[in-house]
Structure 1
Amino acid sequence: MAFTLHLYASLLALGLGAILLLSPKGTMPHRILGSTWVLAMAFSALSSFWFGGGVLPLIGHFGPIHLLSLWVLVALAVAVVAILKGRVEQHRGWMVGAYLGLVGAFVGSLAPGRWIAVQLGLW
């Protein structure tokens, strides 16, 4: 169940994030899609803690990818607080950073030996 949640939340966040970056900011659709994106990102990051850390475990089953999950959760919190306080530039920077973290994790999931790469027949 955690994997399914992680996969769907990640794919939703990947698609919505691209739409949000390319669409007008500050509109009602941006706010609604943005809220949905934040939830998808949070579900994606939180569900990752049920998976192993791969070939480089740091503590128990947690690995370097889990540091990215922690960073994404912090970035989301800072970005939401920033926009609530009217700090648009700070909000933008943290949101773009969180999205780039997701893109990085997606690219990493295509590495040799990773489940998604194997399922897609890449390696």
Structure 2
Amino acid sequence: MAFTLHLYASFLALGLGAIVLLSTKGTMLHRIMGSTWVLAMALSALSSFWFGGGVLPLLGHFGPIRLLSLWVLVALAVAVLAILKGRVEQHRSWMRGAYLGLVGAFIGTLAPGRWVAVQLGIW
């Protein structure tokens, strides 16, 4: 269940995030898509904690990718608080950073030994 949630939330966040970043800012559509994106990102990051570390476990079964999940959760919180306080530039920077974290995590799934890389026959 956690894997399925993670997979769907991650792909939704990956696609929707690109659209939100490229679309007109401040509109109702931006707010709706952005809120949906934040929810998808949070679900993706939170669901990742139920997986093993795969390669390079650092603490128990948690690997470096969990540090990225933790960072994404912090980035989302800071970004949402920033926009609620009217700090648009801070919001924009943290949202871009959170999206880049997601892209980094996606690239990380293609590393040797990771499930996605194995399934795709990359390694």
Which category of TM-score, normalised to the shorter sequence, fits these structures? over 0.9
Q: Which residue of 1 aligns with 2:45?
A: 45
2:97 maps to a residue whose letter is G
CA distance in 2, matches of 1:66, 1:82: 24
CA distance in 1, matches of 2:43, 2:65: 15
CA distance in 2, matches of 1:121, 1:56: 20
Q: How many pairs are equivalent? A: 123
Q: Which residue of 2 aligns with 1:62?
A: 62
Would you say the 8 A contact 2:75–2:95 is kept in 1? yes
State the Cα distance separating 1:121 from its structure 2 match.
Answer: 2.4
**Structure 2: 5+ residue runs without aligned partners?**
none
CA distance in 1, matches of 2:107, 2:58: 21
**Structure 1: 5+ residue runs without aligned partners?**
none
CA distance in 1, matches of 2:75, 2:112: 28
Q: Which runs of 4+ in 1 moved over 4 A?
A: none
Q: Which residue of 2 aligns with 1:33?
A: 33
2:35 maps to a residue whose letter is S
RMSD, matched Cα: 0.8
Q: Which residue of 1 aligns with 2:92?
A: 92
Post-superposition Cα deviations, 1:92-111, rounded to whole Å, max 9, x if no partner, equal 00000000000000011012
Between the aligned residues of both structures, percent identity stands at 88
Per mean C-alpha deviation after superposition, the further-off stretch among 56-65 and 13-22 is: 56-65
Q: Which residue of 2 aligns with 1:122?
A: 122
1:77 maps to a residue whose letter is A
2:14 maps to a residue whose letter is L
* TM-score when normalising by structure 1: 0.97
